[in-house]
Structure 1
Amino acid sequence: MINVFPWLRHLPGDMFGAKRYIQCHHDLDAMFSDPFIMQKTKEYEEGGDALDNFISAYVHERRRKEQNGETTSMDGGHLRRLLGNLFIAGSETTATTMLWFMLYMLHYPHIQEKIFAELEEKVGYNRRPTMQDKPRLPYLNAVIMETQRRASIAPFSLSRLCTADVTLQGYVIPRGTRVVTNLDSVLLDEVTWGDPFNFRPERFLDQYGGLLHPEEFVPFSMGRRVCLGESLAKMELFLFLAALVQRFRLLPSESGQPPPQRAQFGVTCPPEPFKLKFIERVDKS
């Protein structure tokens, strides 16, 4: 709300929790980002071209541009914010998707067991799944995709700024307008998916069991501003969730009473806190 209507930040009190949120960012910078920036900048200055980390590479590029007289917005503030984005956007969203996956497995135990059967057949029990196994596990991939579609953890993605006057379906969007997308309008579209509110992984499989990639599947947004962490997130989700189902059976903390599928609305939409049991699977070999 504050991003869309910046003047709200000047109201007394903290009605929208934005001031507390901003203070948390400042605390994160002071306790985490700033010490690392100081350490890696010092190491870069002492070691010359040791570009073995993001901070050193950023400092190197900034100084190269400054020495060449190039105009740049690269500075300490941008570096600090980039680090925050990498850790917050790069971890919280993936963790939230994992939580929804676990919650759905509590509600659909037959789907969970079907994933395990695929893992047992294609991977076995004596080793952990690797990225080389990903093409051989279409059903698991379909369940992960259905989790991302149905949970829609970032329904408004990130706001954008229109850089030029644009006419879209008869509507004029002036330059400088802040635009907020609505990914729910795609991920939960009835015309596209038929039964968008049902959890049905088979919608991502063809008649031969191969994985489908519908163009309407856009949990990472699309176009030039697509999520930079898409590949990393896909890898993390596959490796973690494959190993999780291979090793454990997920059950409600109270038998026969799975937690409600309710979201907490915010920057992202995680499920309400819930409890579950992890029952270690027995190696049948």
Structure 2
Amino acid sequence: MINIKTYAAIDIGSNAMRLLVLNIVEQQGKETQFNKSSLVRVPVRLGQDAFTVGEISDENIQRMIDAMTAFRLLMKVHKVEKYMACATSAMREANNNNEIVEIIEREAGIKIQIIDGKKEAAIIATSDLKEYISTDKTYLYVDVGGGSTEFSLFANGKIVASKSFKNGTVRMLNNMVNELVWTEIEKWIKTNTEPYENITMIGSGGNINKLFKMTGKQQDKPLSYLNLNAQYALLNSMTYDQRISELALNPDRADVIIPATKIYLNAMKWSGARHIYVPKIGLSDGIVKAMYYGRF
């Protein structure tokens, strides 16, 4: 006998908003399956407002209302039983965040939770990472967003350290990440990885997924530091328009992909990792798993 539940997660990030709908398949004696039914991404760059002006603009509030209304209707069509909407760095720092939460609930019927960096990292860690983590190896998990980057170190199959830094792609584009932040990240990575040998990196986020797709590699194969560095050099050699026309990157991806690559490369260099695996996981997946397993 199979039982199917439909859950959804809304990830309100600094560079885009996403709706993920998953069918959860339960069958006695078998492991629960989480099958993607739909994924919709809307390029509303809230971080551009929050990090430079300090609040979300009226224009982007209206875009949020429209997107959330669409998400609510899509969830209705998919017969979603349970959902959760989580907002991260941009909404955390916007001075008008509480007002926006009230407006979205009133106008679009979606209730938003603003989560801190620590909780964001914890939610991501509840996703399908266990499928990629061996208990006899050490992994540095890096999730790069528009406003922040979350780092988690896994040893013996468990998280031994985790930290969120205000070093995201939208911040970098606006020259809002100083050398002190980079120094803090370097120190944290080196201090926490120093007791371990042969660190392997796991990367998540839209940019690393796009970089991986561009290589044409199979999903279970990693990218080497040299692979990633070569892509970084290629991207830097092209103009913004060329990255859109020749690499078929979306306009809201063609700029942030360069600072994102820099973060991954530095994390690999400072941890000594020679390879990075790129599973298709992220905050949205973690939200659904956290709801299902009662971790909220």
Q: Per the shorter chain, which TM-score range? A: under 0.3
Which structure has the greater CA radius of gyration?
1
Q: Give the TM-score normalised by structure 2.
A: 0.26
TM-score (norm 1): 0.27
